[in-house]
Structure 1
Amino acid sequence: MQYGMLIFDEPERDTSRKILHIDMDAFYASVEIRENPQLRGKPVVIARHPRESGGRGVVTTASYEARKYGIHSAMPAQKAYELCPHAIFIPGRYDLYRQISRRVREIFRKYTDLIEPLSLDEAYLDVTENKPNIKSATIIAHRIQKDIWEKLRLTCSAGVSYNKFIAKVASDFKKPAGITVIPPEDAHNFLMALPIEKFYGVGTKTVERMHELGINKGEDLYQKSELELIQEFGKMGYSLYRKVRGIDDSPVSPVRDRKSVGKENTFADMLRTEEEVVQQLRILSSEVMEALQKNQKHGKTVVLKVRYEDFETLTRRKTYPHYIKDDSQLFIIAEDLWDEIGSLAKGVRLLGITVTGLDPLLYENIELPLWD
């Protein structure tokens, strides 16, 4: 590409890897159906029933039968009930889901140790070199599907390609229990036809701006220069310029260096008094510090998240000169942030505390007295 006297060479693809993205199908709902076969074929929603929660709460996931009514994750439970009054609402058993997720990863480890979990129900696997020495990544994907079904009676979908981005997009194409394979020679045509909404990481507001610029699918994005995309979308523009060309060299990282540790609680009954808020901030502060100690991390930046009854969400952060040493100190900081952004005019639906900008405890600064 040429702009005036500047010439930009097309970046080159690395097509040497074999990457899988495994995504469990409607995981939480599927586990509940497995545990209670009478639910099979019925619209199952993982959320408290609005009649029990006073219309509060959000959908964690929904069975494919429920999705036919337009129900999806992160939707208010009340809206899901309006769309499908006969849906079966289940609060969710997250300890059970975590237990089954661990068993799924045990199956993955039969094939490779290069596993990067994204959540309880999805992960990347690098099978370029694999334990059974199987040359075909597609065969491995089929075997994983078979193992998960035979051992857990659950289904998953898989995307198979040469990088993480394409594999993740592909895994969503043939749900449930499907496999979509995008080899290097097919990647260009696949990406050209891909709706811009399907480009992983492109949010709602970015999609709106894309449409304003006439970018509706990969082919439109491909026509934009790197300079144009960076000027319009910054760092994301740089990334999208490469992704639409089938380039994503990020490795599958089995151990990710945690950049933050946080805890948040959503309340079935809104918090409406200062005492209730303070109590929850104390609980969250204790849980966050416990998690930090478990991960041998500490940090200086605290983020408070507040969501109100009408779903308005506010965050505020503060960075301190010294590492936060205990839950009492974290609580005081969180309470200060609450005083800045908190309000009891509307009920508090959610509170969250996160400590970010983490460093290993090994590098803790020791303050030495310079004089008495």
Structure 2
Amino acid sequence: MRKPETIERLYLDFDGFFASVMQQAFPALRGRPVGVIPFETDKAKYTTVIACSKEAKARGVKNVMRTPDAQALCPDIVLVMQRPDLFRRAHNALLNEIACEIPIDTVKSIDELTCKLAPRDIRDPHALAQRLKVRIAKNVGPHITCSIGFAANRLLSKLACKMDKPNGVTVWEPEGALQYLSALPLSEISGIGGRMEQRLNRAGIHTTAQLIATQPKQMRALWGNVNGERMWYGLHGYDIQAQPTGRGMYGHGRVLPPELRKIDKARDIGRLLLTKAARRMRRDQFYASKLWLWLDLREGGWFAQRDLPCVNDDQAILTGLGALWEKARDELSRNHEIVRVGVTLLDLSPATGRQLDMFLNDDCDRQKWERITFSIDTLNRKFGKRVLSLGPWKPPPGGYAGGKISYTRIPSAEDFW
């Protein structure tokens, strides 16, 4: 395994991406503490600040904080409703500008990416960082800033990127990387969550320096899989490439405004979310053999699943969802408040590998509904986004069902139909 002798990777993270895009788009928000929420502002006391600006963070506000708590820390925080399609378009514009300076290796999320460095940039990483920042400020806007880390591999450059936020540039040369790492708490290491940190503590590892001093096989045993060993090599500066992952599911979740938290209203939102997920699945040419419905209640939660006969058409999928909602109606009282509804299609098969259930013998019916669904999708693409749907289409307040704010998934334009 190769161990680079110089920096080879850049990791770029946009600072407070969602809030800074709002500040760039709306001048009245600039320089003010901003919190992005999922609902219109008159529902603020029932919801959460899902992203905040650097001005709000300086006052103690954090992403994913209840709005009353955020307002207690920062009484003058400006709450604005999310604009997911604006975030998507800003993301694409920023990627275009960055690609003009350096090829993008991997887009990690809507606000993070990584690049391989050319020899010129290895010699002068600060000049590259300056070119990127100037280009973004000039061609997209000065209120969207980024932090950049340089190191020998992707993991180390990501950790370096966190050091001087916001709007900083950090270079970790290979010979000094372990020293920089040793000063970080375990919770700052990408890939070590709360449970993993507890497991490490039980094994007598309480600091990053102790983690670095372990052996690769020991870390593999602690993680319970090869990822622990890969973590060891990443922390020690080896050229570790992320393993490709396959698609495992399609799903959507939605926090419900107060007026939609009874089972009949939540059911309508569940149908809409599942229709959106099924459209995404069809665009990628997959079929599903299992459906999950999960509900976050004011007290506790509820979950059920249903097997599907390897389908991708709306009729079969929505019929399965209807059965799950009937189960929910039987098991939950009318007084239950449903705070969040989610649907997931899984056990995926590529279209080329689909196998029908020989005992079900519904191929003729399935082909008919697949032709109908294909026609609906085609007409929606051509004439009006949602000109046709199978059953009612009732978007929740604020819209964006299925195209909501997301750090890990970058929505496509079709997600906003």
TM-score, with normalisation over the residues of structure 2? 0.74
What secondary structure does 1:323 align onto? strand
Separation in 2, partners of 1:27, 1:135: 27
Q: Structure 1's 163 and 210: CA in aligned 2 closer, same or farther, altered over 3 A?
A: same
Q: 1:3 maps to what in 2?
A: none
Alignment of 1:255-274 (within 5 A): 257-269=246-258, 271-274=260-263
Q: 1:72 to 1:144 in 2, by over 3 A?
A: same
Query: Is 2:138 the partner of 1:147?
Result: no
What pairs up with 1:1-372 in 2 under 5 angstroms? 13-14=3-4, 18-47=8-37, 52-53=42-43, 55-128=45-118, 134-136=121-123, 138=125, 139-153=127-141, 154-235=144-225, 236-247=227-238, 249-251=240-242, 257-269=246-258, 271-309=260-298, 312=300, 317=305, 320=308, 322-337=309-324, 339=327, 343=332, 345-365=335-355
Q: Distance in 2 between matches of 1:107 and 1:200?
A: 27
Please report how far the alpha carbon of residue 337 of structure 1 lies from its aligned counterpart in structure 2 after TM superposition: 4.7
Please tell me the residue identity of whatever aligns with 1:244. Answer: L
* 1:183–1:317 distance in 2 versus 1, CA, 3 Å: farther
Q: CA deviation at 1:158?
A: 0.8
Following the alignment from structure 2 to structure 1, what is the Cα–Cα distance between the partners of residues 107 and 150? 16
- CA drift at 1:356: 3.1
Structure 1: distance between partners of 2:253 and 2:129: 35
Alpha-carbon distance in structure 1 between the residues aligned to 2:109 and 2:302: 24
Percent sequence identity is: 22
Q: Structure 1 residues 38 and 198 mapped into 2: Cα distance closer, same or farther (>3 Å)? A: same
In the TM superposition, what whole-angstrom CA distance separates every residue of 1:72-126 from its partner, at most 9, and x where no partner exists? Answer: 1111223212222221111121211111111011112224444322222211223
Which range is displaced more, 150-159 or 331-340? 331-340
Q: CA deviation at 1:54?
A: 5.9
Secondary structure in 2 matching 1:258: coil
* Post-superposition CA distance 1:247-281 (Å, at most 9, x none): 4612597xx75332222222122644332232222
Q: Mark the CA change 1:239 to 1:143 in structure 2 (over 3 Å): closer, same or farther.
A: same
Q: Secondary structure at the match of 1:105?
A: helix
Q: CA separation of 1:369/1:209 partners in 2, compared to 1, >3 Å: closer, same or farther? A: closer
Return closer, same or farther for 1:114/1:37 CA change in 2, 3 Å cut-off. Answer: closer
How far has the Cα of 1:196 moved from its partner? 0.2
Shift of 1:17: 7.2
- Structure 2, gaps ≥5 residues long: 362-417
Decide which moves more: 157-166 or 338-347: 338-347
In the aligned structure 2, how far is the partner of 1:54 from the partner of 1:30?
20
**1:7 corresponds to which residue?**
none
- Give the CA deviation at 1:179: 1.0
Change (3 A) 1:257 1:90: same
Q: CA RMSD in A?
A: 3.2
Cα deviation, 1:17-72, whole Å, max 9, x if unaligned, reads: 72221111111211222233343332111116897216222222111121123211
One-letter amino acid matched to 2:93:
R
Contact 2:7 2:122 (C-alpha < 8 Å) held by counterparts: no
| Partners of 1:221 and 1:313 in 2: CA distance | 37
Rounded to whole Å, the distance in 1 between the matches of 2:195 and 2:73 is 26
* Structure 2 residue identity aligned to 1:279: D
Helix, strand or coil for the counterpart of 2:316?
helix
- Report which stretch shifted further, 91-100 or 229-238: 229-238
Structure 1 residues 274 and 162: alpha-carbon distance in aligned structure 2, compared to 1, 3 A threshold: same
Distance 2:316 2:301 in 1: 24
d(CA) in 2 for partners of 1:172, 1:102: 23
**SS of corresponding position for 1:302:** strand
Contact 1:62 1:73 in 2 (8 A): yes
Distance across 2 between alignment mates of 1:291 and 1:113:
28
Shift of 1:208: 3.4
Cα deviation 1:179-211 (Å, max 9, x = unaligned): 111122222212222210011121122223434
Q: Which amino acid aligns with 1:324?
A: V
What number of residue pairs does the alignment pair up?
A: 354
Alpha-carbon separation, structure 1, partners of 2:251 and 2:124? 36
Matched-pair contact (CA < 8 Å) for 2:10–2:115: yes
Structure 1 contact 24–155 (Cα < 8 Å) conserved: yes
Between the aligned partners of 1:18 and 1:193, the Cα distance in structure 2 is: 22
Q: Residue in 1 aligned with 2:371?
A: none
Residues of 2 paired with 1:266 and 1:165: CA distance?
Answer: 33
| Contact persistence 1:27–1:121 (CA under 8 A) | yes
Letter of the structure 2 residue corresponding to residue 309 of structure 1 = R
Structure 2 CA distance for aligned equivalents of residues 63 and 173 of structure 1: 18
Q: Secondary structure at the match of 2:311?
A: coil
Listed as ranges, the gaps of 5+ residues in structure 1 are 1-10
Tell me, yes or no, if the aligned pair for 1:159 and 1:170 is still in contact at 8 Å. Answer: yes
Distance in 1 between residues matched to 2:295 and 2:260, nearest whole Å:
11
Change (3 A) 1:54 1:92: closer
Residue identity opposite 2:156 in structure 1: I
Closer, same or farther in 2 for the Cα pair 1:135/1:50, shift >3 Å?
closer
Residues 346/158 of structure 1: CA separation in 2 closer, same or farther (3 Å cut): farther
